[in-house]
Chains A and B, each alone.
Chain A
Amino acid sequence: MKKFLTFSIGLAAIACNSLDESPKAVIVSDTFYKTEKDADAAVIAIYNALNSAQHTLYNRLMQIGTEMATDDYEAGPRARNAHVRALSNLTHDASNDRMLELWRQSYDGINRANIAIEKIGENPSLDPARAGILVNEAKFLRALLYFNLVRWFGGVPLVTQETTSLTPENIYVSNATESEVYALIEQDLKDAEGLPAPSVGGRIGRATSGTAKSLLSKVYLTQKKWKEAADKSKEVIDSKWYDLFENFADVYATSQKNGKEHILSAQFKGLSNWNGNMLAGSSAPTDIPGISGDYADALHREGLLFESFEEKDKRKYVTFGVHYTSPVDGKVYTTHPHFRKYFDETVPASPYESSKNTPIIRFAEILLIYSEALNELNGGPTPEAYDAIDRVRARAGIAALKESQPGLNQAAFREAVFEERRKELVFEYQRWFDLARRGSDYYVTKLKAAGKGNAQPRHIHFPIPQRELDLNPNLKQIPAWQ
């Protein structure tokens, strides 16, 4: 009997597992952020918030969540999401789930950036130079995310530290003013100018000091800080870090990824363990045998964008596809214009597996920023302003503006730059930002001209998502959306 008891008690004691959880397959936050590799992984996580799986910010979400509300795009027949259709018809409201996703994913990325800035910055065991680079990279990405947010939603809550507890003061963050948000963006980008130059190498796909300066010029431009915008874009141009590809098609060629014109791109690789560029599949035709496209991200024909391209414009049939070769029968089919920038000819049967990158910012835009800023700064176009835009036009194979339309006044030149931006940067998540920064009159006029009769002045912002207003009593809706 005693033996029996001893035996059982002994067994019980041996077998005892601890009640403390020590997961083997997942890392716990407390034990992370110790080494340089940990720190790098914390920064990589921020890039992941930019684009990863389908319907992430730079993998189609900004197309269906913002660009639909412009004169160039509409929800095609296979865009079944009622929220996307509402945006395309400008009947969207604060309950729109695409806007909620823009908000959620942006703040998710910002939280990741805040964590990286805090944990890497506070860690004395890391090499200070290396840690400084990673912190500045995180600041660049935080600036990019806030720059999008402030343009979409105006004065959004400014969160600059990781949320670690759920007390009301931690989670009920009030709206900041737009200028407060811009102040943080500018400060972050100024810090990020300290990143290594692109010429240093080894930073393929990552932010550099050139990326930071380029984005800063765009931030100045958006705020109508013309002088700063002109200076900063000139600094980028003069650095000779970047140049235009001679051939416009190379901007999207898989062989030229992260090339001389690309300042920062959303990175894709289909049929691998990464993601294909969704825009390729969602814009591909549905009526060609063997091409299983979805024609959901469609051209808004009434906006006359396709027609506005001169036939000789080399961009026209890089941007649009009207002829597709069927991978099944080898025949060439003609169809109405589809966006083709990301259609990957190597995988016609599975267009979602496109390996083409989407530019976030590229050198052609820097030239156009410089051109626009000079025009605004000097009350009209300077020769340098003409030169900059004409570099872009020359590459497209169309007449230089200084020859075809010399002596434009400020307003006409401004319009010429915007039309050039529209054609050069179409399907690169730019149009809504360009329309909105011109103000509500411009936006409404352009959309009504394109037959989108529901456009209203308030549409130069998106409503702050209802979910956030419901959960955060300190958050206020944009006045025009109240």
Chain B
Amino acid sequence: MKKNYFLLFWLFISSGLLAQEPLINSRLQGKVVDSRTQEPVIGATVQISGVTHAVQTDLDGNFFFQTGQKFPYHLIVSFVGYKKKQVTAEASPILISLEEENQLLSELVVIGYGAVQKKDLTGAVGSVSDEYIKSTNTSLERALQGSVAGVNVTQTSGQPGGGVSIRVRGGSSIQGGNEPLYVIDGFPVYNSSVSSGVVSGAATNPLASLNPSDIESITVLKDASSTAIYGSRGANGVVIITTKKGKANETKVSYDFSYGLQSVRKKLDLLDARGFARLRNDALYDTNPSKGRYQYLAEEQIATLGKGTDWQEEAFNTAPVQNHQLSFSGGTRQLRYLVSGNYFNQDGIIRNTGFDRYALRVNLHSDISSKFRVGLNLSGARTDSDIAPSGIVSALISMPPTATIYEPDGSYTLRNPFENIFSNPIAALNERKNQSVSYRVLGTVNGEYDLSEHLTAKVLFGTDLTEGRDNSYLPASIYEGYSVGGEARRGFSSVFNWLNENTLTYTRSFSNRHFLSALAGYTQQSSQRQFVTTGAQQFINDVTTDNSLQSGNVPLTPTSGDSEWTLHSYLGRGNYNFASRYFVTASFRADGSSRFGKNNKWGYFPSAALAWQISNEEFFEAYSRQINTLKLRASYGSTGNQEIGEYQSLSTLTSVKYLFGDQIVTGFTPARIANNNLSWEQTNQFDLGLDLGFLANRLLFTVDLYRKVTRNLLLDVQIPYTTGHTSSLQNYGSVQNQGVELGLNTDFEKGRFGWTGNFNIAFNRNKVLEIGNDARFYTFGNYIVEVGKPLGSFYGAVTDGILQENEIDEKGKYTGNAIPKAGDRLYKDLNNDGAFTTAADRTNIGNALPDFTFGFNNSFQYGNFDLSVLLQGSYGNKILNSNAQTLELFNGQQNASVTANERWTPENPGTTIPRAKLDPAPVFSDRYVEDGSYLRFRNIALGYTLPKSWVSKTTLSSVRFRLVGQNLFTFTRYSGFDPEVTNGTTISPGTDAGIYPVAKTVSAEIGILF
């Protein structure tokens, strides 16, 4: 009704304005809509054929003519992204539906605090295509893997529900956070774990609590023009996630089920019991030759050993994974709904590990009046994780095969029987309780009110509530709990994060050629985290585990904590375009953050972007048949990073204990020196982009060049210990990332055959520009941070063959051993001081960052069949194979790689593998830096949809089957479990040290639409 009043009003005004028109033979009122969505097409040009009279459609797609022409006459309706249409106007009113020219350019892209059509973008923004979103039901970040140029996704653990590391255009912070900001239905969240620290092992991934099946779209904001609106949190890129909504008059009930089996890609080749016994004999003999060659076992005993315990075989198993998704959606124009429920259950490929998710979602959207709209997006989830305790994988590969899982009396073998201490991993997997349970409610409500035709006010409230519970029990029957008679611990943590956003949006077009939209707003977000841990030791038996702490004889000191942060922000953005040819975007955000020093609470983040749609120029018309789109983009802006945790600028005190006699007393000591000037990391980024469209824009090509420089890095600057402190958090140093991203999208259809393709490739080059204090470099374990070199550089020795019997005097000093012996590994004396020492002779021996990463997705439809193939890969990155280093110690105290069979012996001098030795000094060298390049078939899915003619006889409306293979084929030269491995930090990426390997999966799916 209201709409009609509005129309009348509009009519009245218009007729007033046009009252001077001499001859009025007809009045034509009409509306232009999208043929597919029936949504109004805004700004379409409607021209009467043969005359110059043209008008533009308004915000509701309406247009109005008063003309001297008499019905019938021809109208030409055109709009960028739609096929030009000629219709005959017989009478008023008229409804004109335009067909999209193609899907690729007209899709709406969700950006920060708004949405634009892809063709109007001025920044570098990547949309994740449906195929990728559909390819995951574990966690949404997996959908990003290989989907968008410049977004590099690596799993940090194969633990079900485990973590993921994401770098958008390279890592720029050395010690601050590097993960992107996620904005879920308008709510900004970081993917930081809320664990209370009670459980051991890889951190669980909080985003795994969100059900990927609910996701409608994912957009990745990459350049400063699109991320600066997120100010102090935009520097690492922003991932915007929108969940599905119900559509009016489209009632849908769907059920999807999938069941799969997962297994480890490969096991490491290790010695069996016989090989190990011989190695141990050699190592013992090497140290103490006087006791003979068979100090461990005689050859006759070895012959009876067999293979011994295969610890990997005992731990790795084929594990099921299943997903159930039920959703209802639909509604009326006034109220649209989507309700969904999800159960996901994944067992780990390591026994007794796993992840369960129970998730519910309600999304409601209502048009209360033509001016007032409200929306609700609410999700709740519970996740349960059984986590592999840290060190399990290392123990699995290191346990000697001659050791047994059980002692002869049936009790567990506690630990490695030899000198190297690690506990029985199978006992830990079987008996140890290491669980994490989380509850999460994430919801936003918003109201939008049209203050006038052009001005809309929006208020949004949101909250993200997380409750975590950690349960741990170390039974007395295993080594970890043996000495303390069983240890039970519980941890509770909760995060209350709330958000309020108030924005005004102004949209207007002038003279049909000037399009203006502007946004201004004030937002505030605040978060409070609390935790409690408690526990007890010395239990009579292991029956009650962590459920009865009072049954333990010794209570453990409880701990609790509280931390809070607050962010206040003012933001604004203006978009202007002239005739869809010249586009200007400018944005600004001012952020006040509690996390920084009292002298530096506020930061300011401006950006600007220009775009030129050359293909809309008149002069270009001559080429427009060949080239449908040609657009140049340029942007520059500033963003920040504030991910350092709370209270880092204050001189806070740490509580410590001491014992006087029998009385425990508490003391306090400063944890750090105050820094009132602590501020954000600031990233300035320049981006230059080109978009090209061919073949009626069915082939789209995008290229972006960028350079981003991050200054004032938040660095824990090392200071002399004489200050009483180790380091001080300072703004120091700078890092640069620059690169090229290419994207190619296709969308073809011919008869029963359809093909969509997406190829992207990104080259990023990282460089440390400055690390403060005039330092040129500093080392960090096996890594070096060096000015002029990329982060993630390995720092180690260079191997130089094996010392032979006759070379001991001449070359013995290049072994690094006090008493060199033939069979020792030789290293290069890089500083030419006549000896090798690990202190002086290490160098940069490779880098963990890839030369390029790429993704290639092809989806084919033929009739009722569809096939989707997702390839993804990384080239040029190196992996520090720490597992291999451990497995080549050859000390006879722990198991070793099969390369031990080629080890140096007097009988086998011509080898590159050193001798067995009881007491080797581990030296990190280039031997353990491996090529980590890989090409992976991340997802292959073959689908079949039952013909409509069959389904229509039932109550169902569609039935679809899919066979899916994930990570089925991986091509790599890397010798470890899996090349997709990182420990997740920017300073030390690409180390494979006992990481839970990524699984490969085969599954079957059925999707039913009622």
Contacts and interface: CB of A to CB of B under 8 A. Distances in A.
Given A26-B671, A274-B657, A467-B718, 6 more contacts: A18-B594, A48-B658, A108-B724, A115-B670, A163-B723, A274-B664
A42 B667 contact: yes
Interface string A397-420: 000000000000000000000000
A112 B669 contact: yes
9 contacts: A8-B502, A15-B524, A18-B566, A18-B594, A28-B651, A44-B667, A115-B669, A164-B674, A166-B673
B720 A471 contact: yes
Interface string A93-108: 1010000100110011
B753 interface: no
Interface in B449-508: 449, 451, 457, 459, 461, 479, 482-485, 498, 500, 502
A82 B924 CA distance: 13
Interface stretch (B7-15, B155-163, B556-564, B804-812): B556-564
A37 to B, nearest CB: 10
A281 to B, nearest CB: 8
A112 B670 CA distance: 8
B414 interface: yes
B646 A8 contact: no
B592 interface: yes
A272 interface: yes
Contacts of A292: 414-415, 479, 482-483
B997 to A, nearest CB: 26
Interface in A1-26: 1, 4-5, 7-9, 11-12, 15-21, 23-26
B726 interface: yes
B447 interface: yes
Contacts of B556: 273
Looking at B537, B556, B667, which has the most chain A CB atoms within 10 Å of its CB? B667
A157 interface: yes
B839 interface: yes
A267 B661 contact: yes
Interface in B537-578: 537-538, 554-557, 560-564, 566, 568
Nearest to B447: A4
B673 A165 contact: yes
B657 A48 contact: yes
Interface stretch (A177-185, A213-221, A349-357): A349-357
B420 A104 contact: no
Interface string B635-675: 00000000000110111111011111111111111110110
Interface string A15-53: 111111101111111101000001001111111100010
Top-5 shortest CB links A-B = A111-B724, A44-B667, A350-B483, A45-B667, A205-B660
Nearest to B504: A5
Contacts of B663: 204
Interface in A92-140: 93, 95, 100, 103-104, 107-108, 110-112, 114-115
A197 interface: no
Contact of A12 (B415, B421, B524, B723): B524
Contact of A95 (B419, B568, B722, B839): B839
B484 A104 contact: no
B522 interface: yes
Interface string B524-536: 1010000000000
Interface string A284-313: 001000001010000000000000000000
A30 B724 contact: no
A297 B730 CA distance: 40
B721 A107 contact: yes
B656 A157 contact: no
A206 interface: yes
A468 B837 CA distance: 20
Contact of A32 (B538, B598, B668, B725): B668
Nearest to B523: A12
B309 interface: no
A472 B723 CA distance: 11
B720 A11 contact: no
B658 A267 contact: yes
Contacts of A159: 722-724
Nearest to A269: B659
Contacts of A362: none
A5 B656 CA distance: 51
A107 B725 CA distance: 8
A171 interface: yes
Looking at A7, A21, A45, A171, which has the most chain B CB atoms within 10 Å of its CB? A21
A293 B363 CA distance: 60
Contacts of A173: 720, 722
Given A29-B670, A205-B659, A24 B718 contact: no
Given A17-B526, A349-B482, A454-B818, A52 B562 contact: no
Interface string A245-277: 000000000000110000000011101111000
A19 B593 contact: yes
B601 A19 contact: yes
| Chain A interface size, under 10 / 10 to 19 / 20 to 34 / 35 or more | 35 or more
A1 B456 CA distance: 11
A18 B653 CA distance: 22
B115 interface: no
Given A19-B593, A24-B562, A95-B839, A171 B722 contact: yes
B653 A28 contact: yes
Given A4-B449, A107-B722, A273 B457 contact: no
Interface of A: 1, 4-5, 7-9, 11-12, 15-21, 23-30, 32, 38, 41-48, 52, 77-78, 80, 82, 85, 89, 91, 93, 95, 100, 103-104, 107-108, 110-112, 114-115, 157, 159, 162-166, 170-173, 204-206, 257-258, 267-269, 271-274, 286, 292, 294, 349-350, 352-353, 454, 465-468, 471-472, 475
A4 B658 contact: no
Nearest to A163: B723
B314 interface: no
Looking at B646, B673, B674, B724, which has the most chain A CB atoms within 10 Å of its CB? B724
A310 B622 CA distance: 110
B526 A21 contact: no
A15 B502 CA distance: 13
B656 A471 contact: no
A269 B563 CA distance: 32
Contact of A44 (B538, B561, B658): B658
A47 B483 contact: no
B647 A21 contact: yes
A273 B557 contact: yes
Contacts of A25: 560-563
A166 B663 CA distance: 38
B650 A23 contact: yes
B720 A111 contact: no
A99 B493 CA distance: 38
Interface string B714-732: 0000111111111010100
B502 A26 contact: no
A38 B414 CA distance: 45
Contacts of A41: 666-668
A264 to B, nearest CB: 11
A115 B654 CA distance: 14
Contacts of A107: 721-724
Contact of B724 (A12, A110, A205, A349): A110
A115 B646 CA distance: 24
Given A19-B601, A271-B554, A349-B482, A257 B657 contact: no
Given A4-B449, A45-B656, A19 B594 contact: yes
A95 B770 CA distance: 25
B922 interface: yes
A108 B720 contact: no
B89 to A, nearest CB: 38
Nearest to A30: B651
A162 B593 contact: no
Contacts of B17: none
Contacts of A166: 673, 719, 723, 728, 730
